[in-house]
Amino acid sequence: MTTEAVGTTAAIETVGLTKMFGAVRGIEQLDVRVEPGEIFGFLGPNGAGKTTTIRTLLDLYRPTAGTSRVLGLETHTDSVTIHRRVGYLPGDLALFDRLTARDHINWFARARGRDDTRMAEELSERFSLPLDTRAKDLSTGNRQKVGIVLAFMHEPELLILDEPTSGLDPLVKHEFEQLLRETTTAGRTVFLSSHELDEVQRVADRVGIIKEGRLVFTDTVAGLRQRAPQTIEVVFKVPVDPHRFQIDGVRVVSSQGSHVVLEITGAIAPALRIIADLDPVELVSRHAELDELFLDFYRNNTVTTTSDAD
Q: What is the CA radius of gyration of the chain?
A: 24
- The least CB distance from residue 109 to another protein, in Å, is 10
- The least CB distance from residue 59 to another protein, in Å, is 8
55 contributes a contact to another protein by CB under 8 A: yes
88 or 176: whose CB is closer to another protein?
88
Q: Which of residues 138-167 bind another protein (CB under 8 A)?
A: 150
Round to whole Å and give the CA distance between 246 and 252.
8
Of the ranges 75-83, 176-184, 197-205, 298-306, which one interacts with another protein (CB under 8 A)?
A: 75-83
Round to whole Å and give the CA distance between 113 and 26.
34
CB 143 within 8 A of CB 95: yes
107 contributes a contact to another protein by CB under 8 A: yes
63 or 229: whose CB is closer to another protein?
63
Q: Please, what's the largest Cα pairwise distance for the chain? A: 77
- For residues 105, 50, 184, 227, the Cα torsion angle rounded to the nearest 10 degrees is -160
114 or 202: whose CB is closer to another protein?
114
CA-to-CA dists, residue 253 to 230, 233, 243, 272, angstroms: 11, 10, 12, 16
Q: Which of residues 76-95 bind another protein (CB under 8 A)?
A: 79-81, 83-84, 86, 88, 90, 92-95
Query: How many other CB atoms are there within 10 angstroms of residue 24's CB atom?
Result: 8
Round to whole Å and give the CA distance between 25 and 282.
51
Of the ranges 60-68, 238-246, 259-267, 275-283, which one interacts with another protein (CB under 8 A)?
A: 60-68
- The least CB distance from residue 308 to another protein, in Å, is 30
227 contributes a contact to another protein by CB under 8 A: no
- For residues 18, 12, 107, 155, the Cα torsion angle rounded to the nearest 10 degrees is -170
Positions touching another protein (CB under 8 A) are 21, 55, 58, 60-62, 79-81, 83-84, 86, 88, 90, 92-96, 98-99, 107-108, 110-113, 150
